[in-house]
Amino acid sequence: MLLQDKVAVIYGGGGHVGGAVARAFCREGAVVHLAGRTAAPLEKVAAGLPAGRAHVAVVDALDEAAVGAHADAVAARSGRLDISVNVIGDQDVQGIPMVEMDVEDYLRPIQVALRAKYLTSRAAARHMARQGSGVIIFLGGTFDWTVAKRFSVGGMGVTFDAVESLRRQLAAELGPKGIRAVTLTTGGLPETIPGGYGGRDALVDWLTGQTLTGRTATLDDVGEVAAFAASDRARTITGAAVNVSAGARID
pLDDT computed for residue 231 by the predictor:
99
Distance CA 45, CA 14 (A): 6
Distance CA 204, CA 216 (A): 9
pLDDT computed for residue 107 by the predictor:
95
Give yes or no for a contact between 45 and 18, defined as CB atoms under 8 angstroms apart: yes
Give yes or no for a contact between 38 and 10, defined as CB atoms under 8 angstroms apart: no
Q: What distances in angstroms separate CA 246 from CA 85, 217, 249, one per listed residue?
A: 22, 6, 8
pLDDT computed for residue 198 by the predictor:
73
Q: What average pLDDT does the structure give for the chain? A: 93
Number of C-beta neighbours around residue 55 at 10 A: 20
The three-state DSSP-derived secondary structure of 93-149 is: CCCCCHHHCCHHHHHHHHHHHHHHHHHHHHHHHHHHHHHCCEEEEEEECCCCCCHHH
Number of C-beta neighbours around residue 163 at 10 A: 22
Size of the chain in residues: 251
Distance CA 55, CA 65 (A): 20
> Splitting the chain (251 residues) into consecutive groups of 10 residues, what average pLDDT does each group show?
98 98 98 98 98 97 99 98 96 86 94 98 98 96 70 84 96 99 91 78 86 93 98 98 91 82
pLDDT computed for residue 144 by the predictor:
67
Q: Report the relative pairing of strands 179-185 and 134-140 from DSSP bridges.
A: parallel
**Domain annotation for the chain: domains and CATH numbers:** 7-243 (3.40.50.720)
